[in-house]
Amino acid sequence: MAALKQPIFRVVAIVAEGDPESDTKQLIAYARSNNKVQIRPNKIPF
């Protein structure tokens, strides 16, 4: 989450191995609302 809050990072890769799905969805929602490009796993629909 700290990297998503930095304005210099525009593209983020989300590796969700071992993380709860709800945490990953929260990261995706935050990234989307802040116009970040996401590279994320296909197994988590959003």
pTM over 0.75? The answer is: no
Of 43, 31, 45, 40, give the one whose Cα is nearest residue 2: 31
pLDDT tens profile 30-45 = 888 988 888 876 665 5
Q: Give me the amino acid identity at 15.
A: V
Q: Which residue has the higher pLDDT, 42 or 14?
A: 14
